[in-house]
Amino acid sequence: MASTEKFLAHVKLQTFATLMHEGVHLVTEGLWDAPKALLTTLALHATQKHIVILTSRERHLFDDFFYFSGQDPLEFPAWETLPSEEVPPSPDIVGERYRVLRAIQESTTPQVILTNLHAVLQKLLSPKRLQNMHLILKEKSEVPFTELPQVLAEMGYHRKSVAADKGEFAVRGGIIDLYPVNSPDPFRIEFWEDEIVSIRKYDPISQTSVGRVQEILVTPGEELELLTQESTLATLFDYLGTETLVVFDEPADLEEKYVALKQMACANGRTFISLEELLNAISSLQKLYFSEIALEDISPVKLIDRATNTVTFESCNHTLKASRWLHPFFPLFPSFCPPEHPIDDFSVDQFLQVLSQTPEKIETRFLYQNASEKSALQERLNKLEKPIEGIFEKGYLSSGFFLQEPSLALVPMTEITHRYKIRRQKQRTHYHTLPVEMLSISPGEAVVHMNNGIGRYLGIEKRPNHLGVETEFMLLE
């Protein structure tokens, strides 16, 4: 993890932090993910506000935050279904959304929330309603055992004979098995009358207990169904309040996304607000715009104050106003590629060679994720004619950058190997296929093959498989 203090040695970044602290709306162009993550972290420290990043490019941006801030942002996902479809979203998605909302409600420090336009336009349970619709169950605490099943049912949980999937609970004697949608594990809660004696995780496949915990948080088990019952709905910004900075990452992409949502006819329902309503709701909040391309390539730009470089530009059929700020970041390879050398032919070894022979004093920081990456990097550097006096630091960025005055080159291994982190979100500890009804079929009946479509079942035939072993096969035509 890198302290942001060393980056504030750069005058331009000091200016950025000051402008953020003063509440100025800024727009900056020509950025990529790593500088965006750094600027957002500087804004977080300067403003002490919650930060909502509206983006359609979550992947690399999420991974880059930890190096600068020491913590991952909260990722607020959208439903994988459309509200107009009236199809309940995945319990994994519902649980993650509730988990993030509860984290915001309980947070005593500003948070960075990474989300997309679809998620922000979806309406939510009001903060007060969610506050009243969660449970914290602790060992040795007293909870009315006979009333708990009814409470869980009102929260959207479904009573089953066996609780094997998220959103389910089962009652057996003095034990309640519960699989909260916001947890990767189900829990077995043992009661003695109205006192919770123990809370244990269990394997939903074998139904055996695997570990003990002291307390659990239980959020509502459904979202779409509860929203249809509510008379008053809210948005994400109702949870965040007025002390919030909104970052628009690539406004042109967001506009295209909104057009696509409107074409899918999902932006008109009761549980979905329009973009116009959203922009009106956040009109008083501080804003920061990141654009990879020049504003002039997006819309007409009008300079309205030369002293502060304040401009207006168009996005999503709205006129936006912000001060244009020129960032100090340079991409690594183009910064060190000789003018006479084609950038497409500028190899990693040539980049390191030029970096080692640069006459000016450059603080070079090499980022690696593990010992093998560090060893491979040192091996490359040892082959150089002139060694680079760099600092080796454990960390990850999807890209690097170069700063001047004072000079700093941040060189992650991704710039050398082009191998990026694959982020896997753990939503369940145990993955399994739920039991389904098994049907017997008779020769002549129609079946559907996963790859080849509709066919007719003719029976079972034995023949050698690809290993030459006699095996039973279903014969279809």
Kindly state whether residue 409 falls inside one of the protein's structural domains: yes
| Spatial CA neighbour of 373 closest among 419, 322, 326 | 419
* Same structural domain, 44 and 107: yes
Number of H helices, E strands in the chain: 15, 26
**Residues 461 and 359 both lie in one domain:** no
Is 13 within a domain?
yes
- Considering Cα of 203, then 206, then 209, then 210, what sign does the dihedral take? negative
Residue ranges of alpha helices (H) inside 287-347 are 332-336
pLDDT digits (tens, 9 = 90+) for 26-53: 999 999 999 999 999 999 999 999 999 9
Strands of 306-416, DSSP E: 310-315, 318-324, 363-368, 391-394, 401-403, 408-412
Query: Which of 218, 247, 269 is the last residue before a domain boundary?
Result: 218
Q: How many domains does the chain have?
A: 4
- Show the domain range for 116: 7-127+230-324
**115 shares a domain with 11:** yes
Please check whether residue 188 lies inside any domain of the structure: yes
The answer to whether residue 1 is domain-embedded is: no
Which of the 8 DSSP states describes residue 139? T
Domain identity same for 210 and 304? no
Examine the domain organization and report whether 309 and 242 are in the same domain. yes
Domain end residue (candidates: 198, 218, 238): 218
Query: Do 200 and 160 share a domain, yes or no?
Result: yes
Quick check: pTM over 0.85?
no
Whether residues 386 and 318 fall in one domain:
no
Task: Mark whether 113 and 247 lie in a shared domain.
Answer: yes
Q: Is residue 246 in a domain?
A: yes
Residue 58 dihedral angles phi and psi, to the nearest 5°: -70, -30
174-181, Cβ contacts within 8 angstroms, sequence gap of 24 or more: 174/145, 176/145, 176/148, 176/149, 177/202, 178/152, 178/218, 179/204, 180/95, 180/216, 180/217, 180/218, 180/219, 180/221, 181/91, 181/92, 181/94, 181/95, 181/98, 181/219, 181/220, 181/221
* Dist. CA 425–CA 77, nearest whole Å: 12
For 328-378, the pLDDT digits (tens) are 999 998 888 888 888 888 888 888 888 888 877 888 899 999 999 999 888
Question: 464: left (phi > 0), else alpha (psi -120 to 50), else beta?
Answer: beta
Closest CA to 390 of 413, 372, 370: 413
**Assigned domain for 351 exists:** yes
Tokens of 43: 């804004």
Asked if 403 and 385 sit in the same domain, the reply is: yes
Q: What is the CATH number of the domain that holds 105?
A: 3.40.50.300
Q: Is residue 192 part of a domain?
A: yes
User: Is 56 within the bounds of a domain?
Assistant: yes
Q: Do 48 and 109 fall into the same domain?
A: yes
- Pair (34, 112) in one structural domain: yes
Residue that terminates a domain, selected from 324, 350, 378: 324
- Whether residue 187 sits in one domain with residue 53: no
Encode the chain (477 residues) as per-residue pLDDT tens digits. 566 788 888 999 999 999 999 999 999 999 999 999 999 999 999 999 999 999 987 778 889 999 999 888 999 999 887 766 778 889 999 999 999 999 999 999 999 999 998 899 999 999 999 999 999 999 999 999 999 999 999 999 999 999 989 999 999 999 999 999 999 999 999 999 999 999 999 988 888 888 899 999 999 999 988 998 888 999 999 999 999 999 999 888 887 887 777 766 555 567 888 888 888 889 999 999 999 888 898 889 999 999 999 999 988 778 889 999 999 999 998 888 888 888 888 888 888 888 888 877 888 899 999 999 999 888 888 888 888 888 899 999 999 999 988 889 999 999 888 888 877 666 777 655 555 445 678 888 888 876 677 888 888 888 888 777 888 888 888
